[in-house]
Amino acid sequence: MSNRQDGTQPDNVEELHFGDSARGASFDDFIDNGPDGGTPRKKRSVGKIILVTLIVLALVGAAGVAGGWYYMNRLRPINVTVNGTPVETRINTTVQSIMDANGDFGTKPGNLLSVSNKVLDGKGGDKQTITVNGQKLNAADWDSLRLQPDAQITVDNGKDVTERYTVKRETIPHKGPSLDAVDLMGGGAIQYVASPGRDGYKEQWTGAISKETVDKGVVKKAEDFKVTTKTPRPKDGKKYIALTFDDGPSEYTAQYQKILKEKGVHATFFNLSEEAAYFGAQEKSLAADGHEIASHSVSHKYLPKLSRGDLRNEIGKSFGVIEKNSGETGRMFRSPYGAFERQQWLDSYDIISSNVLWTIDTEDWKRPGPDKIRDTVLQQAENGSIVLMHDGGGDRSQDVTALPQIIDGLKAKGFTFVTVSEMIKLDGTFPDYVANNEPAK
């Protein structure tokens, strides 16, 4: 609207007045004095702005942290070695992923084969064999194990697997005990059952998928009953020797025991059970000191002249006395006079673990003098030697004199003293039942 040319206002126009509302905004406008005009306070709109700003900043920061974590733990490149070749991948990549990305590194699963070895499925065998840092990985863990920098990985082809099949088995009988099966010509110190006799068998397989039938021939050979002989020879580089004493216990046995204890030596005592009936406490004491107690029969009879029944009684009853006195349940035996022929083995193979002879005979029963007894042992001693002496059956004073000299002389030669059972175990080639003093099984 324009003014009149004379400078006067029109009569019908009101003058507008805005008062203080037309002034510019100041800081005071953002101050809330409260309902009673008291202490000023910031208006809510400013607080909201600050809060929103802080939230935005926090979200941006969190996104940065999350992004950094994700990069470091999922996207960061790392190097691993597969079959000797460097491979770049990402941190925490699974084994399955690196296999998929690299074509299984040129390997393949094993084949599923028929019973005649025809391929039924080129991928039906075992999955590839994978090791990570030397540890073999189960196929079920391929999807869960995550790789770390510098991991050393090997990948090999999977193994072939034969289809499921049914088996038709034909028994091959073994030859049982016979005189021809007892071979004592080897001359070894330990006679034992090398094989109690076990059946063998042939097999015919029929495949569940292929339906093929294949004759597999002899899968397990029959093992015929066999008794043989050999001398134990431990092979750990040390020299071992076993001292053995026959015909006790007697009034001399306590002196032997005292010497052995003073020298720190364990020995094997082949006792007569009729003597052990009188010296039961002595036999028990020997066992308590760590000596081995074995059978020398009941009454020292010449076994080849006994019937089967009498032979089994002469041997079997002796073990009962030993067990009663010492608690030992072993079935180690030494035949009187060393007389134990093929027929005696057939009559008793199921009640003894071995018949123990010797490699050094001191002939102390001839009473040749302590020096001769000592020299016989020291001159013939070698690794695996089993020494025959006596602690019963007559005057054993010469043995008592010779024994400490024998022990000192053998120690000077570097020998270690063991029981017969320990010698057999150290050899490591005898059947377990022989090493454990049990009849063949």
Q: Can you tell me the distance from the alpha carbon of 410 to that of 212, in angstroms, rounded to the nearest whole number?
A: 67
Q: Is residue 68 within a helix (H) or strand (E), and if so which, with residue range?
A: helix 44-70
Region for residue 79 given its phi and psi (left: phi exceeds 0; alpha: psi -120 to 50; beta: otherwise)? beta
Strand partners, 213: 206
Which residue type, as a one-letter code, is found at position 261? K
**The pairing of beta strand 152-156 with beta strand 129-132:** antiparallel
Identify the CA nearest to 389 among candidates 367, 421, 411. Answer: 367
- 3-state class (DSSP) for residue 216: strand
- Give just the sign of the alpha carbon dihedral 247, 337, 266, 439: negative
Q: Can you tell me the distance from the alpha carbon of 344 to that of 355, in angstroms, rounded to the nearest whole number?
A: 11
Identify the CA nearest to 315 among candidates 277, 353, 351. Answer: 351
Per the annotation, the verdict on 432 as an active-site residue is no
- Are 217 and 202 in contact by the 8 Å Cβ rule? The answer is yes
**Strand order through the sheet with 119-121:** 119-121, 112-113, 161-162
Cβ neighbour number for residue 412 with a 10 Å cutoff = 9
Per the annotation, the verdict on 350 as an active-site residue is no
Q: Which residue has the tokens 């008291």?
A: 38
Q: Can you tell me the distance from the alpha carbon of 180 to that of 176, in angstroms, rounded to the nearest whole number?
A: 10
Of 347, 390, 391, 427, which is the active-site residue?
390
Helices (H), 246-396: 253-263, 273-276, 280-288, 308-326, 342-348, 370-380
* Cβ neighbours for 342, distance < 8 A, ≥ 6 positions apart: 179, 182, 184, 227
Identify the CA nearest to 344 among candidates 370, 310, 371, 294. Answer: 310
Q: Can you tell me the distance from the alpha carbon of 63 to that of 418, in angstroms, rounded to the nearest whole number?
A: 76
Secondary structure letter of residue 440 according to DSSP: -
Q: Can you tell me the distance from the alpha carbon of 228 to that of 406, in angstroms, rounded to the nearest whole number?
A: 31
Taking CA atoms, 193 is separated from 183, 229, 349, 419, 430, in Å, by 10, 9, 7, 20, 10
Of 246, 247, 347, 427, which is the active-site residue?
246
Give catalytic residue positions: 246, 390
